[in-house]
């Protein structure tokens, strides 16, 4: 495909834009020699084509490239501000607008952009902010295997079971009292954090009683 010089490429691209053909304009600009890509007008026409397509990110990027070569180029600044505002990048849009207003304080299009941007900033600042509720902490259930460990507990010296039948029955009743059997009980257990502590104290009391009764023999 034959390459074009910047002047020819820009003229043809502008003709396509005047007919509402931004894609054809971009195709023509893609044929411009890379040696001529430093022209601000090249990036201006490219940004305008992307803006017509609704590709605001590419439009802002193209305008920014042109502003590197010519920071005070008013048409490029206008396109850059419009693209940034559409992207919702309001801080950068306001910064570019302030710079443009210093260059042309009486420009009507800049005045219109000022009003539009101020309205957009007000709407953004007045938008309701959602606050996430704090996470609800719950007491984890005792694993099934842990509930049955006491049944096999043995004295390390004698190898005999630590708990006799009466002790085992009492502990079993304590387990049943502390185990939720319905959704309502589960909710109640989560609200009373002292139950697991009370259960542990009960087990320790049984173990202490057993040790005291056997050590005394």
pLDDT score, position 186: 47
Tell me which CATH code domain 6-126 carries: 1.25.40.10
pLDDT score, position 22: 96
pLDDT in tens, 6-15: 899 999 999 9
DSSP state letters, the chain: ---B-HHHHHHHHHHHHHTT-HHHHHHHHHTB-GGGTT-HHHHHHHHHHHHHHT-HHHHHHHHHHHHHH-TT-HHHHHHHHHHHHHHT-HHHHHHHHHHHHHH-TT-HHHHHHHHHHHHHHHHHHHSPPP-PPPPPP-PPPPPHHHHTGGGG-B-TTT--BSS-HHHHHHHHHHHHHHS--SHHHHHHHHH-THHHHHHHHHHHHHHHHHHHHHHT-
pLDDT score, position 202: 75
Distance, CA of 48 to CA of 58 (rounded, Å): 10
pLDDT in tens, 155-172: 555 666 655 666 666 666
pLDDT score, position 189: 46
Residue pair 143/135 in contact by the 8 Å Cβ criterion = no
Whole-model pTM? Answer: 0.57
pLDDT score, position 176: 62
pLDDT score, position 80: 97
pLDDT score, position 211: 72
pLDDT in tens, the chain (217 residues): 688 888 999 999 999 999 999 999 999 999 998 776 778 999 999 999 999 999 999 999 999 999 999 999 999 999 999 999 999 999 999 999 999 999 999 999 999 999 999 998 888 777 665 566 666 555 555 555 555 554 555 555 566 665 566 666 666 666 566 555 544 444 444 444 555 666 777 777 777 777 767 665 5
pLDDT score, position 3: 86
Question: In the chain, where are the structural domains located?
Answer: 6-126, 144-215
């Amino acid at each position: 495909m034959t390459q074009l010089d910047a002047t020819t490429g820009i003229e043809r691209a502008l003709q396509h834009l005047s007919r509402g053909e931004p894609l054809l304009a971009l195709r023509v600009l893609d044929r411009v020699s890379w040696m001529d890509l430093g022209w601000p007008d090249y990036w201006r026409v490219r940004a305008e084509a992307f803006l017509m397509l609704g590709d605001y990110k590419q439009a802002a990027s193209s305008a920014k490239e042109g502003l590197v070569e010519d920071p005070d180029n008013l048409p490029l600044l206008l396109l850059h501000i419009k693209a940034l505002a559409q992207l919702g990048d309001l801080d950068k849009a306001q910064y570019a607008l302030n710079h443009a207003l210093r260059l042309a304080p009486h420009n009507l299009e800049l005045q219109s952009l000022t009003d539009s941007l101020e309205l957009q900033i007000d709407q953004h600042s007045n938008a309701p902010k959602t606050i996430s509720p704090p996470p609800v902490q719950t007491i984890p259930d005792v694993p099934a295997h842990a509930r049955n460990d006491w049944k096999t507990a043995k004295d390390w010296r004698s190898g005999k079971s630590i708990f006799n039948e009466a002790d085992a029955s009492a502990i079993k009743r304590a387990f049943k009292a502390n185990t939720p059997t319905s959704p309502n009980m589960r909710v109640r257990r989560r609200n009373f954090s002292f139950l697991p502590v009370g259960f542990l104290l009960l087990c320790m009391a049984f173990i202490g009683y057993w040790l005291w009764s056997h050590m005394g023999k």
